[in-house]
Amino acid sequence: MTIGVTHFLVVGAVMFCCGLYTMSTKRNAIGILIGVELVLNSSALNLVAFDRYMGAGRLDGQIMALFIIVLAAAEAALAVGICINVYRNLATVDVDKATQLRG
């Protein structure tokens, strides 16, 4: 019994579904952000697993995962800034309460 790419893909799929569930059920904006982090991590895990077992030794998957980490850090910084601003204006980060821009 050896560990192959499928094992890592299954772990990634479970993480992705948990992230999706978190994103769709949490009302707290920071909670939704945590769900996004889970989804990003699962995709990075898939890329690295494919790079390890299927790649041509060029490390493409690992570099993609590095870019994902960079983008996640940037996204988290901006989203936390937006959350702080929403909290300052509405005194809550409940995403259902922020309806001022609704047409």
Report 24-63 residues binding another protein (CB under 8 A): 24-31, 33-35, 37-38, 41, 44-45, 48-49, 51-60, 62-63
Q: Does 89 bind another protein (CB under 8 A)?
A: no
> To the nearest whole angstrom, how small is the minimum distance from the Cβ of residue 101 to another protein?
16
Nearest residue (CB) to another protein, 88 versus 102: 88
Q: What's the rounded Cα separation, in Å, for the pair 56 and 33?
A: 34
Closest CB 80 distance from another protein, rounded Å: 4
Least Å distance between CB 100 and another protein? Answer: 16
The secondary structure of 25-70 as a DSSP string is H--BHHHHHHHHHHHHHHHHHHHHHHHHHTS-SS-HHHHHHHHHHH
98 binds another protein per the rule CB under 8 A:
no
Whether residue 47 contacts residue 71, with contact meaning beta carbons closer than 8 Å, is answered with no
